[in-house]
Structure 1
Amino acid sequence: MVPLLLVLLLVLILFGAGFAVKILWWIAIAVLVLWLLGFVARSGGTGGRRGRWYRW
């Protein structure tokens, strides 16, 4: 009985980790798209130079 419970627990942990990794991939893709859009849509700075869209 204990080995069966350990296997089921392992399956649940791996399923949860797989789901979390999939969500993290989608979040990473969304952040990458926003980051690239920020470079494309940045406004012109003083002296004709293009400014940075981020503060840091």
Structure 2
Amino acid sequence: MCLAAAKPSVPGAPAVGLRCLEPAKRLSGGAILFRPGEPMHGHGLGRITSVAYSPTLDA
């Protein structure tokens, strides 16, 4: 399960980050996003296309 966090890095510009709610798990590029409780099949809400460390989110 992942948490979406928003913290603008530039005033007025949106910035969004994803962080796992389960510390032992990691995000990976190509993962498909689903709402909690939604069946995990099909296209879901979207994909994580790439993953990188964020000093802003410390994750």
Determine if the TM-score, normalized by the shorter chain, exceeds 0.5.
no
Which one has a bigger Cα radius of gyration?
1
Larger helix percent: 1
TM-score of the pair, normalised by structure 2: 0.22
Per chain length, whose mean CA-contact separation is higher, i.e. which structure has more relative contact order (CA < 8 Å, sep 6+)? 2
Larger strand percent: 2
